[in-house]
């Protein structure tokens, strides 16, 4: 089977000259059989195997190894690449850098609630889950967003924080993305320097550090450590999570004389940052018989018997009949973001109508008429600390 198409054909009895002999070689071309008739390679192609290539810079044929062929900085434009494994050379990274689309200008946008924004653009060709970079005539609506929904001639996106309702014009550019249509398994850390838009489910078994925003339209399951250093929101509202509970037991106290008592309990010193929400909680038991008694709760920075107490509790036996008071009460006080408390304490003051009738914070109590349990949990002071990933403006 011939592998060349000869440049000149000869017949018996024809005259042979130099020109025809030269044409025999010079005008010859390779047939497909030049390649297809060769013996197939027995093993998978190896790095050291060679190919024949045209070196455009030298205008010559050269040989090139398989490894050298893919070692150069070659731009490959293709609709898809199918392979089971991609490994970077030693010491190199795998970088995927898709190209952005063409800017579209003069599109009208509107938002009636300051959250969902509709952009009108005829035959835009965009899909939900894709990223667009928006430059709007109202600056608060500019930024990079994930398309939430679309029609043939419009699309919507969700602002990262609620804005004043507005309308105007904008330009937009589709941001190039790496589109993963199947499951994504990451065996090491994931570091994201920009926003993350998730249209399906994501399972992450290692740490996830995101300095931008996460927009998830599916289910996200995190079995590793998740650290949000950007804004954390639920239903477009800044979300706070319980980051710690500090608890101190309040020791037993009893009155020794009739009158006022300054600070029958003082908590350990605490400092509240401006970016946290705190709830102070006091669970206090009290007992008395035959005489009036009171206790009041204040911050240590408030002066004893003056200023504004956080709460005041008075028990009175107006008939002097020796009625017995047994109480366990829970008190909570909210301190929102913007409130700073430095080297603060919580204190409890008391007043006893009789020097022996008042007891506070006991765990053993006189048995009641109906509830006959003789012991109860100790009184406690707690601090519930809530924090978000973004520092609010006071």
pLDDT digits (tens, 9 = 90+) for 319-349: 555 677 888 999 999 999 999 999 999 999 9
Rounded Cα–Cα distance for residues 268 and 253 (Å): 17
pLDDT value of residue 319? 57
Q: Which residue has the tokens 């044929």?
A: 61
Q: Which residues contact 198 (CB under 8 A, 6 or more apart)?
A: 214, 215, 216, 217, 218, 220
pLDDT band of 217, cuts 50, 70, 90: low
Q: Number of helices (H) and strands (E), helices first, in the chain?
A: 3, 31
Q: Residue 161 has which token pair? A: 């924080």
Give the gyration radius of the chain's Cα atoms: 40
**Alpha helix (H) ranges present in the chain?**
18-26, 33-36, 66-71
Residue 180 CB neighbours (<10 A)? 9
Q: Which of 69-83, 84-98, 270-284 is most confident?
A: 270-284
pLDDT band of 195, cuts 50, 70, 90: low
Residue 228 CB neighbours (<10 A)? 17
pLDDT value of residue 313? 92
Rounded Cα–Cα distance for residues 349 and 289 (Å): 19
pLDDT value of residue 394? 41
Average of pLDDT values for 90-117?
A: 89
Domains and CATH numbers, the chain: 1-36 (no CATH), 104-174 (2.40.30.20), 190-239 (no CATH), 244-387 (2.60.120)
Q: Residue 394: which of 343, 335, 346, 342 has the closest Cα?
A: 335
pLDDT value of residue 82? 83
pLDDT value of residue 54? 84
Strands 166-174 and 104-111: antiparallel
pLDDT value of residue 218? 62
Residue 291 has pLDDT above 60, yes or no: yes
Could you report the per-residue pLDDT of 112-169, keeping only the tens digit for each? 998 899 999 999 999 988 889 999 999 999 998 889 899 999 999 988 777 899 999 9
Q: Which residue has the tokens 């007043």?
A: 351
pLDDT value of residue 344? 97
pLDDT band of 392, cuts 50, 70, 90: very low
Rounded Cα–Cα distance for residues 185 and 106 (Å): 41
- Distance in angstroms between the alpha carbons of the first and the last residue of the chain: 87
Mean pLDDT of the chain: 85
């Amino acid at each position: 089977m011939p592998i060349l198409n000869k440049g000149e054909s000869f017949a018996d009895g024809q005259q042979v000259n130099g020109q025809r002999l030269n044409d025999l070689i010079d005008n010859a071309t390779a047939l497909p059989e030049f390649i297809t008739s060769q013996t197939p390679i027995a093993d998978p192609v190896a790095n050291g195997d060679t190919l024949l290539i045209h070196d455009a810079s030298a205008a010559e044929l050269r040989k090139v190894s398989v490894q050298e062929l893919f070692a150069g900085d070659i731009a490959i434009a293709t609709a898809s690449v199918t392979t089971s494994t991609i490994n970077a050379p030693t010491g190199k990274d795998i970088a995927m850098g898709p190209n952005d689309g063409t800017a579209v200008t003069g599109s009208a946008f509107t938002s009636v609630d300051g959250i969902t924004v509709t952009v009108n653009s005829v035959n835009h060709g965009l899909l939900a889950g894709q990223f667009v970079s928006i430059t709007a005539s109202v600056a608060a609506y500019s930024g990079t967003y994930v398309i939430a929904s679309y029609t043939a001639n419009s699309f919507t996106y969700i602002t990262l924080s609620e804005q004043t309702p507005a309308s105007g014009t904008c330009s937009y550019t589709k941001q190039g993305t790496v589109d993963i249509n199947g499951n994504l398994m990451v065996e090491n850390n994931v570091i994201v320097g920009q926003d993350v838009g998730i249209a399906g489910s994501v399972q992450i078994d290692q740490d996830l550090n995101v300095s931008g925003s996460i927009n998830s339209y599916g289910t996200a399951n995190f079995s590793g450590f998740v650290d949000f250093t950007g804004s954390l929101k639920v239903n477009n509202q800044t979300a706070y999570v319980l980051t710690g509970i500090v608890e101190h037991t309040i020791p037993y106290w009893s009155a020794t004389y009739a009158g006022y008592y300054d600070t029958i309990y003082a908590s350990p010193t605490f400092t509240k940052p401006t970016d946290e929400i705190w709830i102070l909680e006091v669970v206090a038991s009290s007992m008395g018989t035959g005489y009036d008694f009171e206790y009041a709760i204040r911050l240590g920075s408030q002066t004893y018997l003056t200023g504004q107490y956080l709460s005041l509790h008075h028990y009175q036996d107006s008939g002097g009949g020796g009625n017995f008071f047994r109480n366990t009460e829970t008190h909570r006080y909210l301190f929102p973001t913007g409130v700073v408390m430095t080297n603060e304490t919580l204190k409890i003051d008391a007043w006893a109508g009789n020097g022996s009738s008042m007891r506070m914070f006991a765990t053993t109590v006189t048995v009641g008429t109906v509830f006959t349990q003789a012991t109860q949990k100790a009184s406690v002071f707690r601090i519930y600390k809530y924090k978000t990933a973004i520092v609010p403006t006071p």
